[in-house]
Amino acid sequence: MNDSGYSLWFYNIDVDYIKFLHSVDGKVQYSQGSDYSSKPFLGGFSIDGIRYFVPLSSPKSKHIHWDYEGDTYIMIHETIREEDRKPKNVIRRQTDEGLEKILAILYFNNMIPAPEGCYEPVGDFINIRDDLYYDLLRKEYYFCLNIDGKIACKARKLHDAQKEAGVTDELCCDFMRLEKAMREYQR
């Protein structure tokens, strides 16, 4: 459990709500034609009484050059053996322990607020029928659980810096504008 009193978990966000937020701020991750109904968001923390959710994104080859953590992201990763490597794996580097495989990226700059009724827990991983997806979500979840304080702190720090400066970084969603839009959506 983190400082907000919530436990971290994966959530699905209502697609109509995501589209609405995207219409307010184009930096909200949404792409016509993609299935956002099952896109996982990491949630379970509150900033100024508002529930926030961080999107998980699939690793890309560009990420192999990134640090494990930056001001706006955290890279979820694991160490695997060479013989467990798959062609689609994104490998950051080789170490004495094995290969550092990137599982996902948490993009705090694209986190979104959501009101009650617009998010739903992914549910028990046991009900996931795809074994590979089950394994991936489980690994991502336990990685996040081990750094839940860092996750909540990074989210709050980014949010508060934007709020205090009154300026939105070009890579970040406008959190204040999204919070206002969220309140309008609730009406």
The three-state secondary structure class of 141 is: helix
Strand pairing partners for 101? 78, 91
pLDDT, position 133: 86
Which tokens go with 50?
A: 């508002």
Q: Do the bridges between strand 99-107 and strand 90-94 make them parallel or antiparallel, or are there none, so unpaired? A: antiparallel
124, pLDDT greater than 90: no
**Could you tell me which residue, 27 or 4, shows the higher pLDDT?**
27
Rounded Cα gap, residues 11 and 158, in angstroms: 21
**Sequence spans of domains, the chain:** 9-59+104-186
- Dmax (CA) of the chain: 56
The rounded percent of the chain whose pLDDT value lies above 70 is 96
Give the pLDDT confidence score for residue 4 in this predicted structure.
45
- Give residue-wise pLDDT tens across range 26-78: 999 998 777 777 889 999 789 999 999 999 999 999 999 999 999 999 999 99
Confidence tier at 123 by pLDDT (50, 70, 90):
confident
Which contacts of 87-92 are long-range, i.e. CB under 8 A and separated by 24 or more positions?
Answer: 90/59, 90/60, 90/61, 90/63, 90/64, 91/64, 92/63, 92/64
Report d(CA 22, CA 16) in Å as an integer: 10
Q: Is 148 helix (H, G, I), strand (E, B) or coil?
A: helix
Residue 6 in this model has a pLDDT that exceeds 70: no
Residues 9-59+104-186, CATH architecture? Roll (3.10)
